[in-house]
Chains A and B, each alone.
Chain A
């Protein structure tokens, strides 16, 4: 029976490291490739909107790429990085490409690099929209032309085909833009002709690397072995173990449905799967099925909604706490009033005032909105200009400090402000503008591949 072995490193989202010993242990198993997911939409729309990334620092990210590149090149094993630098737009791919080139130059290593761009041209998408090829995902509204024009960036989430194409072209290192986590690991498997059910399920299981390893301390790599009708997973590091429940449980992580996973090529169905311990480090999974469907890519876009300013304050006075809703109301009213005076379009202002210690986290869904002896008030204002946002948050802060309420004794100040200055500009604010799926005839069509010899 043929087998395909791979090593999955921990997600590279924060660049908090790939343990060299764990990666080396994985490479000793002679894998066909090493895969790592460098992206996530989980941090919100900022990264796609701004072109920035969630890595702790460029130096930290460079350190991780140094580990990955030196080890995989030494072992002559292809490295596949998906969803470069968090959001996988062109700016993120280019940023990662520069880091990789720098590491190669410093380490004196040479390789064939393929980069795959996932950012989309708004005109192309507008044409697709008019042709009826774009559908809302989940609770999204139907896509408008305006959504596309207002977006800072829109990316398409590639399936395995562009990555497989890069490997066909002889790439030693693939830096892919926005990419389904699964595609990083299914591309080599489908290229080698393995059935899609086990290949996809294995990919889904190891996309976060050592999250399936026990004990859950530190980052780790995992080794996945694909056979024709089953797959096995085991932690790379000798001291770690895993078990069937842990492996099965990974399908709960950040997913809506643990039995069905929609991918560009169709749906993974795990309803009839069995998870069996081979030994205390290895789990075998059988019964994974894949139902092919019309080929679609997910589209993600973010638009700028203005500038954000915030302030935070604590309330300890029992009288002020008892009337905190009134303080919140006067703060909100002050924002509205100041916007009107300053000629700021109220429709372009988004303000929220939250009371932590009561219902700051869950708002209207809080089952126990009972204040304690103190509470925190957080004010967020988004307005079209930075000056406007600063102005409106200042208006709210003045009312929190000096606003009146029945029985007020705190005439020198209702709230404790921990910062000087009390208010903080918080940069540009974004929201998701596109969260849709697009039917495509050719899985390669939305993506551009660049190749180069590095070093």
Chain B
């Protein structure tokens, strides 16, 4: 499933995938894979991304139950 929240939060901070990747110490392709839903990051990477974007884990990675 695509992570559009991450893409939106990144755009809000005016960061490219490459810039976010450099900030959290991963490759651009890894950020791209997370946004596309091709890769599930570890909690450590999730925290690093959230800290860089100034958001919480819930904001980016929590999916509310669809009722």
Q: A and B from one assembly?
A: no
B residues lining the A interface (CB < 8 Å)? none
Residues on A close to B: CB < 8 A? none
